[in-house]
Amino acid sequence: MAKKTKIAAGILLGLQIILLIGVAGVFLQNEALAEVIKEYVAARGEVHEIYDDTAVVNAYKSGNADGLNEQDKYVLEQAKKVIAEHIKAGMTDYEKEKAIYDWQVAYTTYNNDSLAPISSGDQYSHLPYGVFKYHQAICVGHATTFKLLMDMLDIECEIIHSTEEGEHAWNLVKLDDGWYHCDVTFDGSSSGKPFYSYFNVPDSVKDDGSYPWDHEEIPAADGVKYCYLARNAGNLKDLYAVPDYVREQLDDGIGRIAFTLQDAKDYNRDVAAFIASAFSDGINELYAGDSMLIGNQTIYIFEVMQPDDGIGGGQINPEVQERLQEIMDALQ
């Protein structure tokens, strides 16, 4: 019985972390997600190797895949399909990057209608093969898949693999005015639409101490021009313009509301919380997030949190719930 319980506990832990990663990405809960990942990695004592995409990229550019193993041939064919479907002639590097980013978030979103993400393929979740074959990825799988596609598109891209405080991996992308951080893992959501909290952000946003990296080895990310938050933030006169703007964004189905203030006098966290409370209806909750300094702009954030967003919450497919219940019953 002890052996059975230990095995069931291991299965449950695996299910929990995959479910957590699959539905994670709400900006206000990134710190909680980071802690969960750290605890999971520490418990398993596992750090993943970074996939070398050189052979696949060379095969793509040469048109000769003869030297690839079967997994890499599959990765190459699937990557080519993604590029053919989502990359159009005349796109800028930024537009190509965003198209891939959007595709990857949607493609790896946990699907409540399918048991595939929790029943197979998790041994490949740190590889592009796991992303393309099984629609699932841990952070290393996200970072290596994103880099593979950027390399195929001749967009300069690096991977930051932080292991000092637990394991996390994300990307740096070089555009015409500098480097940017891109974190697909923390931008995912249960809706399949990115929150863009970490799409093309500078060091000032990403370097919060959660996952440190060697700044002497990694180029400084100081680009601003292509930061999604800065490009799409509303430019408001003062705090009294905030409620109307929030209402407008909510009516348009925007789940992450960003804006700047020409006059920030008297705007503080208490004011933001007061405004947020007026738009929370018990079904969709609005939260005031931390402000971000991007270039010379302070970006203020509101975040919509729905019942199926965040860690451990939301509606569960009955089949998934039944399977989890069986496992938990075995632990009794």
* Beta carbons of 131 and 140 less than 8 angstroms apart: no
Whether the pLDDT of residue 211 is over 50: the answer is: yes
What's this model's pTM, rounded to 2 decimal places?
A: 0.75
As for how many domains the chain has, the answer is 2
What integer best gives the mean pLDDT of the chain? 80
- Check whether residue 94 and residue 183 sit in a common domain: yes
- Check whether residue 151 and residue 276 sit in a common domain: no
State residue 109's pLDDT score: 64
- Check whether residue 220 and residue 194 sit in a common domain: yes
Instruction: Provide the token pair at 237.
Output: 């006169």
* DSSP summary character for residue 122: G
- Check whether residue 125 and residue 242 sit in a common domain: no
- Check whether residue 106 and residue 148 sit in a common domain: yes
Please give the average per-residue pLDDT across 98-110, as a whole number: 87
- Check whether residue 95 and residue 212 sit in a common domain: yes
Range ranked top by mean pLDDT from 22-31, 80-89, 177-186, 294-303: 80-89
For residue 107, what are the CA distances in angstroms to 142, 247, 281, 311? Answer: 11, 30, 31, 19
- Check whether residue 188 and residue 253 sit in a common domain: no
Please give the average per-residue pLDDT across 261-285, as a whole number: 88
- Check whether residue 265 and residue 321 sit in a common domain: no
Whether the pLDDT of residue 308 is over 50: the answer is: no
CATH code of the domain containing 277: 3.30.110
Please give the average per-residue pLDDT across 114-138, as a whole number: 75
- Check whether residue 29 and residue 88 sit in a common domain: yes
Interval 160-178: pLDDT, tens: 999 888 889 999 999 998 9
Q: Which residues contact 4 (CB under 8 A, 6 or more apart)?
A: 330
| DSSP states of 248-269 | HHHHTT-SEEEEEES--TT--H
Sheet containing 178-182, strands listed edge to edge, beginning at the edge strand earlier in sequence: 157-162, 168-175, 178-182, 199-201
Please give the average per-residue pLDDT across 21-41, as a whole number: 43
- Check whether residue 15 and residue 141 sit in a common domain: yes
Among 142, 136, 104, 132, smallest CA distance to 120 is for 136
- Check whether residue 52 and residue 40 sit in a common domain: yes
Q: Collect contacts of 313-319 with beta carbons under 8 A, ≥24 apart.
A: 314/23, 314/190, 315/112, 316/112, 317/112, 317/113, 319/115
Whole-angstrom distance, CA of residue 154 vs CA of residue 177: 16
Please give the average per-residue pLDDT across 213-229, as a whole number: 92
Instruction: Provide the token pair at 277.
Output: 């409370």
Give the DSSP H or E segment for 128. Answer: helix 128-134
- Check whether residue 48 and residue 165 sit in a common domain: yes
For residue 238, what are the CA distances in angstroms to 72, 243, 246, 289, 292? Answer: 54, 11, 13, 18, 17
The whole domain housing 271 covers 233-308
